[in-house]
Amino acid sequence: MERTRRSSPISPPSEYDKGGSEDFSALRRLLLSPEQVQLDRLRQRLDTFVVGPQEVSRVLPDAIRLRARQDNRLLASMLPITQEALALSIKQSPQLISDSLAPILGSAIRKAISRAMREMLQSLNQTLEYSMSWQGLQWRWEAWKTGRPFVEVVLLHTLQFRVEQVFLIHKKTGLLLNHVMAEGISSQGEAAISGMLTAIQDFVRDSFQQSQDEGLESLRIGDLTVWIEQGSAAILATVIRGAPPVKLRDVLQNTLESIHAQYSESLQHFQGDDSVFLETRPFLEDCLQAQFVKKRKGLPVAFWVLSVLLLALLGWWAYQASLNHQQWTELLKRIAAEPGIVVTSIQEEGGRRVFHGLRDPLAVDPERLLEEVGYPPHAAGFHFEPFIALTPEMVYTRALKVLQPPESVSVSLDGDRLMLMGKSSHAWMTRVDQAHFSIPGITEVSMERLIDTDVKQFETLREDLEGQTILFLAGQGRLTDRELVKIQQVKHILQELDKKAMQLGREPSIYLMGYSSPVGSQSTNVSLSEMRAQKVLEILSESPFQVLKLSAIGKGVDPDVESVAAEGQGYSASRRVSFKVVEPKITQTREVGARTGR
Amino acid sequence: MIQKKICMLGGFAVGKTSLVKRLVSGIFSDKYLTTVGVKIDKKSLSVQGKELLLVLWDLYGDDDFQKVRASYLQGSSGYILVIDGTRKETVDVACKLHDLAQKTIGPVPFVLLLNKHDLVDEWVVECPMVSDLSDQACFVSMVSAKTGEGVEAAFSALSEAMLKF
């Protein structure tokens, strides 16, 4: 109104009145009279002009819009009034404000809480699900090793994909309009990252001569993917861990489109003030999606492995128990059948089964039985008192142990009679004769079928000796060289015989009987035969004998001279010395007694 | 909060990166400069009572091997032009880059920094050489990456200019 008044072309009339003359005034009245009236009316109207509400209401909306576009002075002027009005309104009628805000705030709060709860529950579920499993233990180990929280390790392993960060970037300047992060992600200079993402896009676009509308769509490093959605004025960059599904692209595109639709003006005229884009947060939060690996339905592998192990263990235990039982039964059977062992009781002592009873020292060692049946030695013990068993087996064993027969002798037991068969030395037979009394259970030893090898050899030597003849020439007591050699052989036989007789405890007498041919007189022949016997005795007596007693006897004319002569040998065979072994009767009797036993 | 994208421009080895190193917080290593040709850092500061976040695009120096990518300049609200006071040829590079910036992003505010003030005895660049650029710049300063002298003030001046622009 002031401006209107200042810019009016009409000056106050008083100024003209002062400077003009009467004539001029008259002239002016004549010339401008009608216009003057109009001007006066106009001035009067302007002086009394008041802008009414109606006029203001017509221009106000446009005026505010124009002014707001021009600068923010209107906003600055209105801000304190609006704030005061709002404060007053809240003070006076809080219900009204509360009712008005409830639909907006309620929904927002509900959404925020449910989101927070969902994230928390998901994280809790994941943690619980894996905390007690084998996998969980491995992850715990990994967490401990890497120093990261267990929850984070679980998340990394069970994650199929998760949008970790969302950047809303102004396309032209690369400035960050808004940014949201998933829970647990730490911020790391988003403003610079935002710029760098834009720069990299420019770099790639320039390097490969792509048009301005083209842009990078995705970057990938390790299990991290950056998906970039290009809008006309803004870019939506999402940092995703894992393998995102294609449908996530739709979500991102829709989000960017919604933001463009709602903030088109702000994006176009963006001058660096990002406060207006704070409201885009819900849009961006909708992009913070995640999907976790579904745990396999059914029982986990660990369960099966454990079951198999358990079954195997059970099977092994059952097998061991059965084997143990079998071994025990076998052991009982063997011990019961074993001669020389009498079990009186079996007692459990300190986790061992201890056998009590009697055991012949010659019976088998029970520890060996354990070994043979495979029963664990630590599970059994023996406490046996010694005794002498009179079972045939033990009597037989004891006899063998005491007598120790040579291999050429077979031993058998017939009741209480020990039967010996085969060949043995005279010494062993003598020992049997003396020792069998000390073997309990044996009352008689039969040696009828036992050949005394020493006696046999003695007899052979005797026969050999008695078959020998030393021949002399007719009418002489002299020996030829050939006969001297024969005498040496006889001497050797005698030595063997002497040795054997000593072994047998015999003292045989050897008669050297001299003979002569019938030629010549009786007396000559007798003395000749004595001379001959004496001659051989002399030679044979050169070396002494232990037990043999040699004596020379002159027998005179050979009684068998006729039969010898008839054989065509003449009388040469009669001029000889023969041998005869003679044993005393008493020795003979003792030997017979030893052979027959008692 | 208000964010602004600004670029660091200048010839090879004029000290752009060193100038801002002690003032910015960044997560990227310098190797990005020689590979992608840009390294991005950020710097928060308060100008006229407003919190401002400068997203700083440190562009790899213009040399025979790698040209500054014009696309990296897109969307910048301002830029910092750096000249090495001891190397005359960096003035020409700065002029060239300035032209590129003006052509690509329009007449946005920029500051002109003459670096290596600590080696002022070795300076070969004289005022008339940079008078054209000085006239257009919203702020001109002699700075030293070694001492950090004048850099903070340059950021503040550019920020103010950008907010007014």
Which residue in the set A193, A202, A271 is minimally distant from B69, CB to CB?
A: A202
- If one counts the domains in chain B, the total is 1
Q: Using an 8 Å CB-CB cutoff, list chain B residues near A170.
A: 75
Q: Is A206 on the interface with B (CB under 8 A)?
A: yes
Q: Using an 8 Å CB-CB cutoff, list chain B residues near A277.
A: none
Q: Using an 8 Å CB-CB cutoff, list chain B residues near A192.
A: 26-28, 40-42, 55
Helix extents (H) in A52-173: 53-70, 73-92, 94-131, 134-146, 150-158
Residues contacting residue A420 through CB under 8 Å, at least 6 positions apart? A405, A409, A410, A411, A432, A445, A446, A447, A449, A450
CA distance A22 to B65: 91
The verdict on a CB contact (< 8 Å) between A176 and B3 is yes
CA distance A466 to A458: 12
Give, as one character, the DSSP assignment of residue A569.
Answer: I
- Evaluate whether B70 touches B59 at the Cβ level (below 8 Å): no
CA distance A521 to A535: 20
Give, as one character, the DSSP assignment of residue A185.
Answer: P
Average pLDDT, chain A: 83
Q: Using an 8 Å CB-CB cutoff, list chain A residues near B71.
A: 202, 205-206
The verdict on a CB contact (< 8 Å) between A199 and B38 is yes
CA distance B113 to chain A (A): 23
Strand positions, DSSP E, A502-565: 509-516, 549-557
Which residue in the set A188, A203, A206 is minimally distant from B27, CB to CB?
A: A188
Q: Using an 8 Å CB-CB cutoff, list chain B residues near A205.
A: 71
pLDDT for the residue A64: 87
The verdict on a CB contact (< 8 Å) between A173 and B53 is no
The verdict on a CB contact (< 8 Å) between A175 and B27 is no
CA distance B149 to B128: 23
The verdict on a CB contact (< 8 Å) between B57 and A170 is no
Confidence band for A579, pLDDT divided at 50, 70 and 90: very high
| Domain A392-448 in this protein, CATH class | alpha beta
CA distance B78 to chain A (A): 11
CA distance B5 to B57: 7
The verdict on a CB contact (< 8 Å) between B40 and A175 is no
Query: Residue B33 — φ and ψ, nearest 5°?
Result: -60, -45
The verdict on a CB contact (< 8 Å) between B55 and A175 is yes
CA distance A204 to B57: 17
The structure tokens listed for B2 are: 């208000």
pLDDT for the residue B66: 66
Q: CA-nearest residue of chain B to A204?
A: B36
The CB density around residue B6, as the number of other CB atoms within 10 Å, is: 24
pLDDT for the residue A594: 40
More confident residue, B63 or A66: A66
Query: Looking at the predicted complex, does its ipTM rise above 0.90?
Result: no
Q: Is A71 on the interface with B (CB under 8 A)?
A: no
User: What ranges do the domains of chain A cover?
Assistant: 2-50, 121-292, 303-386, 392-448, 454-596
Three-state DSSP at A70 gives helix
CATH of A454-596, one of 3.30.1330.60, 3.30.300.160, 3.40.718.10, 1.10.10.10: 3.30.1330.60
CA distance B8 to B112: 10
- Evaluate whether A461 touches A488 at the Cβ level (below 8 Å): no
The structure tokens listed for B7 are: 């670029």
pLDDT for the residue A460: 92
What average pLDDT does this structure show over A102-106?
A: 76
pLDDT for the residue A310: 94
Q: Which residue has the tokens 């829970």?
A: A183
The structure tokens listed for A109 are: 């709060």
CA distance A63 to A39: 30
The verdict on a CB contact (< 8 Å) between B40 and A272 is no
Q: CA-nearest residue of chain A to B75?
A: A173
Q: Using an 8 Å CB-CB cutoff, list chain A residues near B5.
A: 173-175, 195, 272
Q: Is A200 on the interface with B (CB under 8 A)?
A: yes
pLDDT for the residue A571: 77
A469 burial (CB, 10 Å; 0-12 / 13-18 / 19+) is middle
The verdict on a CB contact (< 8 Å) between B75 and A275 is no
Q: Using an 8 Å CB-CB cutoff, list chain B residues near A194.
A: 55
Q: Which of A164, A186, A156 is nearest to A292 (CA)?
A: A156
Domain A121-292: give its CATH code.
Answer: 3.30.450.70
- Evaluate whether A357 touches A344 at the Cβ level (below 8 Å): yes
Phi-psi region of A409 (alpha: psi -120 to 50; beta: other; left: phi over 0): beta
Which residue in the set B40, B53, B69 is minimally distant from A196, CB to CB?
A: B40
Instruction: Please check the confidence at residue A20 and state whether its pLDDT lies above 70.
Output: no
CA distance A266 to chain B (A): 14
pLDDT tens string B10-35: 888 888 888 877 777 666 666 666 66
| Single-letter amino acid code for the residue at A364 | V
Q: CA-nearest residue of chain A to B24?
A: A192
What average pLDDT does this structure show over A548-567?
A: 79
The CB density around residue B126, as the number of other CB atoms within 10 Å, is: 11
| Residue in A175, A197, A200 to test binding to B, most B beta-carbons within 10 Å | A175
Percent of chain B with pLDDT over 90: 18
For the question of whether the overall pTM of this predicted structure is more than 0.90, the answer is no
Confidence band for A593, pLDDT divided at 50, 70 and 90: very low
Instruction: Please check the confidence at residue A119 and state whether its pLDDT lies above 80.
Output: no
A159-170: buried (b, 16+ CB within 10 Å) or exposed (e) per residue? bebbbbbbbbbb
More confident residue, A536 or A115: A536
More confident residue, A243 or A590: A243
Please check whether the two domains, A121-292 and A454-596, share a CATH topology. no
Q: Which of residues 310-339 of A touch B (CB under 8 A)?
A: none
| Residue in A167, A173, A206, A266 to test binding to B, most B beta-carbons within 10 Å | A173
The structure tokens listed for A164 are: 């970790």
Highest mean pLDDT among A130-144, B56-70, B83-97: B83-97
Residues contacting residue B34 through CB under 8 Å, at least 6 positions apart? B60, B66
CA distance A152 to A159: 10
pLDDT for the residue B49: 85
DSSP notation for A344-400 = EEEEEETTEEEEEEEE-TTSPPHHHHHHHHT--GGGEEEEEEE----SHHHHHHHHH
CA distance A159 to chain B (A): 27
Three-state DSSP at A299 gives coil
Q: What is the DSSP pairing of strand A509-516 with strand A576-582?
A: antiparallel
The CB density around residue A136, as the number of other CB atoms within 10 Å, is: 18
> CA–CA distance from A54 to each of A20, A51, A58, A60 (Å)?
43, 8, 6, 10
Highest mean pLDDT among A132-136, A294-298, A349-353, A488-492: A488-492
Task: Return the H-helix or E-strand segment holding A483.
Answer: helix A481-504
Three-state DSSP at A224 gives strand
CA distance A192 to B39: 9
The verdict on a CB contact (< 8 Å) between B41 and A192 is yes
Interface of B with A (CB under 8 A): 1-5, 25-28, 32, 36-38, 40-42, 53, 55, 57, 69, 71-72, 74-77
| Residue in B5, B25, B60 to test binding to A, most A beta-carbons within 10 Å | B5
What average pLDDT does this structure show over A207-217?
A: 76
Dihedral in degrees, nearest 10, Cα atoms A374, A380, A381, A384: -70
Instruction: Please check the confidence at residue A168 and state whether its pLDDT lies above 90.
Output: yes
Percent of chain A with pLDDT over 70: 89
Q: Using an 8 Å CB-CB cutoff, list chain A residues near B38.
A: 196, 199, 203
Which residue in the set A189, A199, A200 is minimally distant from B27, CB to CB?
A: A189
Give, as one character, the DSSP assignment of residue B11.
Answer: B
pLDDT for the residue A444: 86
Q: Using an 8 Å CB-CB cutoff, list chain B residues near A190.
A: none
pLDDT for the residue A386: 92
Q: Using an 8 Å CB-CB cutoff, list chain B residues near A176.
A: 3, 55
Structural domain of B136: 2-164
Instruction: Please check the confidence at residue A588 and state whether its pLDDT lies above 60.
Output: no
**Vertex A87 angle, CA A85 and A88, to 5°:** 65
The verdict on a CB contact (< 8 Å) between B74 and A203 is no
| Single-letter amino acid code for the residue at A20 | G
CA distance A134 to A155: 16
| Single-letter amino acid code for the residue at A541 | S
How many residues would you count in chain A? 598
CATH of the domain at B20: 3.40.50.300
HSE-up (13 A, CA, CB side) for residue B70? 11
CA distance A41 to A209: 74
pLDDT tens string B83-134: 988 888 889 889 989 999 999 989 999 999 998 888 888 888 877 778 888 8
Instruction: Please check the confidence at residue A122 and state whether its pLDDT lies above 70.
Output: no
Which residue in the set A170, A206, A275 is minimally distant from B1, CB to CB?
A: A275
The structure tokens listed for B41 are: 């850092």
Q: Using an 8 Å CB-CB cutoff, list chain A residues near B6.
A: none
Query: Residue A571 — φ and ψ, nearest 5°?
Result: -105, 5
Q: Which of A336, A335, A443 is nearest to A395 (CA)?
A: A443
Q: Which of B106, B4, B111 is nearest to B47 (CA)?
A: B4
Three-state DSSP at B118 gives helix
Q: Which of residues 176-195 of A touch B (CB under 8 A)?
A: 176, 188-189, 191-195
The verdict on a CB contact (< 8 Å) between A206 and B25 is no
A393-397's contacts with Cβ under 8 Å and 24+ in sequence apart are: A393/A339, A393/A340, A394/A339, A394/A340, A394/A360, A394/A362, A394/A363, A394/A441, A395/A439, A395/A440, A395/A441, A395/A442, A397/A339, A397/A340, A397/A362
